Structure 1
């Protein structure tokens, strides 16, 4: 803002004569004064152990420098450090390559480590060998166990074979042809049985034949060449022949009955087929 000031006293002054003096002249001179150039960032600031970039930049808030100038300063500092690092590597490159040749001593330490590693390797090989031996033992024991289980199963089948043969022998003695046969009840239940028949019923003969087939298959499962089965072979043959004998008697009886015996004759032929004895059935039918 302009102020009014009186002129010099040695000049006449009119009542309306004033001189305008600007009050902003002093402040303009101060604004035009050059700012102090900031000093370079000290290198030691970057070498502190817990250097934090964000904290360091915040500490430069009172620095009379623009952000772009600060960035330029940091780029120059980074470029200078990279140049120094390159010069340092180049100056020590030859020494670095010859470092392996210049190393001396430590042979005893290296030898101790080598011996320790060899001992460790031998210990590992020994453990592996024991593991392999134990694995072989376990495999052998498993094989022996399987063999024992097989023998136990074979023994169980042998006992079952003997029991079944004994049971069949007892049933064949009861079911043999004769007036004292106990099959009268089963004959009554079979609608195809003949009145006054003295032979076994077709249902009874079918049961006997099925039992014999089961015994024969069990003998095959055990093995026909085993001594136990060879000893049982005679009893098996006797049971088969007895069943065929009863079948023959019943077949002749059904044949003699003519038309009334056709249904039973067909059932009896099926029993012959079950025993794989069709030839014996034909022979019985042709006989008088």
Structure 2
């Protein structure tokens, strides 16, 4: 007799219950709410964010519903933020009412300050002009002092030159004078042998040096009234020096061979005086005689 296996009703019920539990979503873990911080990432993109939700135990419809709720919530927050800022803006406008008097006070204060600054600028400009004028007066005063010193020097040198030239002019007729003898002693060596000619070449050279110093002292002051007034004196000194040199050259020339050295010395003195042309005239005059 054949035996058939009749499954136990309890065993079949357990197997069916296991299959139903695998297909039932209610038995899956409950999905966590979407985090607000996920939407605040600097590199947030919708496609990349959705790709991270692939392992989420949630139906697409539930996910869509949750995202829609999140969008509505953000819209309400944005509207509340705009309303709050607008209310603050209106409150700020109301708080600024009645400030015209303060603004006017500030404006008047700035105008007064500007006028004071302008007055100070004008005062500083006036002081600057005054200082500039005083500096110029000081410069002119120093210039005049310098010119005065130079004029004093011109007078002193011209007087010394006149005295030396006058002594030289008297030398020919007064060889026994004590002062002339003392000067001859000082010039001994360089003017040795010149006594027979009257005036030594050393004295003539010294007189020419004095004359040149006077000429150097008057450079740049030729138009000054004082220098113009001294021109006749300077011309007289020049004429006297040329006369002394001419006389000395004639005496040396007449001495022949003995006076050749003296002739060269006198020609050199003419050159130092920048009057070589006068020496040539004297020599031509001697040749025609």
Counterpart position of 1:148? 141
Counterpart position of 1:113? 106
Give yes or no for contact 1:194–1:260 (8 Å, CA) kept in 2.
no
| Offset from partner CA, 1:201-244 (integer Å, 9 cap, x none) | 222212111111111222223x2222211111100000111111
Taking structure 1 as reference, are residues 89 and 235 closer, same or farther at Cα in structure 2, changes over 3 Å only?
farther
Query: Is 2:131 aligned against 1:132?
Result: no
Taking structure 1 as reference, are residues 235 and 99 closer, same or farther at Cα in structure 2, changes over 3 Å only?
farther
Taking structure 1 as reference, are residues 124 and 147 closer, same or farther at Cα in structure 2, changes over 3 Å only?
same
Q: Which has the higher helix share?
A: 2
Counterpart position of 1:208? 207
Gaps of 5+ in 2: 1-73
In structure 2, distance between residues paired with 1:251 and 1:89:
122
Counterpart position of 1:185? 185
Shift of 1:123: 0.5
In structure 2, distance between residues paired with 1:188 and 1:263:
17
Normalising to structure 2: TM-score of the pair?
0.62
In structure 2, distance between residues paired with 1:262 and 1:187:
20
Shift of 1:190: 0.9
| Offset from partner CA, 1:119-157 (integer Å, 9 cap, x none) | 011101101110110110111111111112212222222
Shift of 1:115: 0.5
Gaps of 5+ in 1: 1-82
Give yes or no for contact 2:208–2:269 (8 Å, CA) kept in 1.
yes
Q: Which has the higher contact order (CA 8 A, sep 6+)?
A: 2
Q: What's the RMSD between the two structures over aligned residues?
A: 2.5
Counterpart position of 2:68? none
| Offset from partner CA, 1:67-101 (integer Å, 9 cap, x none) | xxxxxxxxxxxxxxxx9xx9685553434566665
Point out 4+ residue stretches in structure 1 off by more than 6 angstroms. Answer: none
| Offset from partner CA, 1:164-184 (integer Å, 9 cap, x none) | 211111111112250424253
Counterpart position of 2:246? 248
| Offset from partner CA, 1:4-43 (integer Å, 9 cap, x none) | xxxxxxxxxxxxxxxxxxxxxxxxxxxxxxxxxxxxxxxx
Give yes or no for contact 1:209–1:243 (8 Å, CA) kept in 2.
yes
In structure 1, distance between residues paired with 2:92 and 2:160:
95
In structure 2, distance between residues paired with 1:232 and 1:163:
12
One of 145, 150, 157 as aligned partner of 1:157: 150
In structure 1, distance between residues paired with 2:264 and 2:258:
12
Taking structure 1 as reference, are residues 92 and 213 closer, same or farther at Cα in structure 2, changes over 3 Å only?
farther
In structure 1, distance between residues paired with 2:157 and 2:102:
82
Counterpart position of 2:40? none
In structure 2, distance between residues paired with 1:213 and 1:119:
70
Query: Is 2:256 aligned against 1:265?
Result: no
Q: In the comparison of the two structures, how many residue pairs are matched?
A: 202
Q: What secondary structure sits across from 2:188 in the alignment?
A: helix
Taking structure 1 as reference, are residues 90 and 217 closer, same or farther at Cα in structure 2, changes over 3 Å only?
same
Shift of 1:270: 2.1
Q: How does 1:43-122 map to 2 (within 5 A)?
A: 90-95=82-87, 101-102=93-94, 103-122=96-115
